[in-house]
Amino acid sequence: MLSDILKPGTVALVGAGPGDPGLITLRGMRLLEQADTVVYDYLASPKLLRYAPTAQHLFVGKIASRHSLTQDQINALLIEKAQSGHKVVRLKGGDPFVFGRGGEEAEALRQAGIPFLVVPGITAAIAAPAYAGIPVTHRDFNSSFTLITGHEKEQAYQDPETLTRTPATGASDLDWSVIAKLPCLAFYMGVKSLPRITEKLIQHGMDPQTPAATVQWGTTPRQRTCVATLQTLAKAVQQAGIGAPAITIIGKVVNLRQTLNWFESRPLFGQTIVVTRTRDQASELSVRLEALGAHVLEAPTIEVTPNPDLTPLNRIFCSSVSATLPRTFIFTSSNGVRFIRDYLRSNRLDARTLAGSQIAVIGQATAQAVRDWLCIEPDIVPERAVAETLAETLIERGDVAQRHFVLLRAEIARPVLVERLRQAGGTVEDIPVYQTRLVPQLPAELLDALAARQVHWISFTSSSTVQNFISLLGNNYQEKLVGVRIASIGPITTQTIRSFGLEPTVVSEKADVVSLVQSILEYGTGRASTTTRPNP
Ligand code: SAH
């Protein structure tokens, strides 16, 4: 087997797959993790860059609003980076050698004496139909499947994706009389030329009633599919407003979509949902919503950093003075757990430091963080994930006055827990383990989607994210949120939402992520069908 080690001075031409980041190969991902430089283009999922967080990310894609590099400049960039000793991953949408000009890049590297390797990827003509419920071969319908570029050199042509003009350079090498006889065709880069493509096929004898489909942004949450016949497809695609990037598939297999449409029939497919969160939190909510088909736009609102003042933690964990009262450590968020884990590690301590103490937490996610990161089973996890309930639970146990409570939490936190425990006679120490601050701005993709009225839901999982999100949106936040449904995780978050003159559409029954997702699901999506069928 080829080694998965990327050597300095080498370029790996890696297929990123068609859009769904999960469709990159294992080797592609391993090489990405080692890269110093990632040169990527428009169709490679930007989510994959997370696997190379410290590498230099160079976008060389061609999109209308950005200056783009010519192919020669891209080749030169790869050579330059490799020659300066970088481990270079050239991440290309789909497969690097299928209409991706990867062949030209490899030739240039070879000529410059740069070692390279190629990691194939799942190409769009297979993946996009698959996600639209169309198998590209089937024993009953076709025993061949042909990949064709709709972007021919026949005449001066403006690429719809790149808006660059390709001058006429010789005749087409497509022999339509042959192609029209084949049972299953996939066209890349052909949305704008669909009228010409379908006309040529009919002219050369293909049955105008042949089933045909165009799949835009295949395998992504933005996937849209237009099903028609060879005769009606061009018009139907135009009416549906489908543009690049899209694959057109022509053949009887298209009919199988009627029974095999699995991806677009997931319950939240077609719904764009904003998940507000802190920058560092791994978002369980996003994962769950995506699994149900939603298009999730993450909106980090706060950044979390450890409190630089370690004196209180040192006093608790590193002092030789032993506690007089039995201790209860209280974690109110997974961030608190994470920073305590990091603190213990950096002081060469471990879970044994907490041995003999009681551990109480707010919320299932916090409880899980205690299990995962501290290897401790929390003693107290109240049913409802709010400070009041934790206070009640602790007080009901009847030993508050005999315990020393240590709260390990954010610098700014609601005082209720401290107050209630003190009122009940407890000794309480409130330690700010981490600080939070507002991010400079919301992601551009999110602001664009709001402006285009494409957002269906915003989910809020805490009061502070409500406040932060709204302050990041600015003064005319209400205008920006017109028509957007709001999902709130619980009563306190709801209060905060109302204080801004907004009303949640759903409030989750229990204050946890599973219940929040359930309430969005139950509300019903009310979405329009994603399949466009022309009138006969
Ligand atoms: N190397 C790529 C193809 C690059 S050419 C591959 O193997 O898939 C660019 C064309 O690929 C687009 O114009 C479109 O026709 C197709 N394409 C790429 N990603 C796509 C996607 N997610 N959905 C539909 N078509 C896609």
Could you tell me the CATH number of the domain that includes residue 343?
Answer: 3.40.50.10090
Give the DSSP letter of residue 380: B
DSSP 307-328: -S--HHHIIIII-SSPPSSPEE
**Helix (H/G/I), strand (E/B), else coil: 508:** coil
Query: Counting atoms of ligand 1 from 1, which one is nearest the CA of 95?
Result: 7
Residue to mutate, 71, 159, 188, 248, ligand 1, most ligand atoms under 8 Å from C-beta: 188
User: Using 50, 70 and 90 to split pLDDT, how confident is the model at 536?
Assistant: very low
For the stretch 53-98, pLDDT in tens is: 889 999 998 765 566 788 999 999 999 999 999 999 999 999 999 9
1 found inside a domain: no
Q: What is the mean pLDDT of residues 251-278?
A: 94
Q: Take atom 18 of ligand 1 and give the residue whose Cα is closest.
A: 124
Arithmetic mean of pLDDT over the chain: 90
Helices (H) and strands (E) in the chain, counts: 19, 22
**Domain for residue 323, yes or no?**
yes
Same domain for 320 and 240: no
Beta bridge partners of residue 352, listed in sequence order: none
| Any atom of ligand 1 within 6 Å of the Cβ of 23 | no
Q: Please indicate whether residue 512 is annotated as part of the active site.
A: no
In a domain? residue 532: no
Per-residue model confidence (pLDDT) at position 534 = 41
Atom of ligand 1 nearest to the CA of 189: 13
Q: Any catalytic annotation for residue 200?
A: no
pLDDT tens for 31-49 read: 999 999 999 999 999 889 9
- Whether 529 maps to a domain, the answer reads no
CA atoms of 125 and 99, how far apart (whole Å): 11
Compute, in angstroms, the gap from residue 17 CA to the centroid of ligand 1.
Answer: 9
Question: Ligand 1 centroid to 217 CA: how many Å?
Answer: 8
- Which of 383, 411, 436 finishes a domain? 436
> How far apart, in whole angstroms, are the C-alpha atoms of residue 289 and residue 275?
9
For the ranges 6-20, 83-97, 300-314, 367-381, the lowest mean pLDDT is seen at 300-314
Cis amide linkage into residue 245, ω under 30° from 0: yes
Q: Which amino acid is at 80?
A: E
**How would residue 495 be classed by pLDDT, with cut points 50, 70 and 90?**
very high
Number of domain units in the chain? 4
| Pair of tokens at residue 24 | 């990159």
Does the residue 33 lie in any domain?
yes
139 and 54 together in one domain: no
Is 65 within a domain? Answer: yes
Report cis status (omega within 30 of 0) of the bond before 432.
no
Q: Which domain holds residue 279?
A: 272-301+440-524
Specify the 3-state DSSP secondary structure of 118: strand
- Evaluate whether residue 266 is within a structural domain: no
Contact between 141 and 254 under an 8 Å Cβ cutoff? The reply is: no
Question: Does 237 fall in a domain?
Answer: yes
Q: Is the model's pLDDT at 161 over the cut of 70?
A: no
Q: Please give the Cα distance from 284 to 286 (Å, whole number).
A: 5
| Strand ranges across the sheet with 211-216 | 146-149, 184-188, 246-251, 211-216, 224-229, 531-532
Question: Is 98 a pocket residue for ligand 1 (Cβ < 6 Å)?
Answer: yes
Rounded to two decimals, what is the model's pTM?
Answer: 0.75
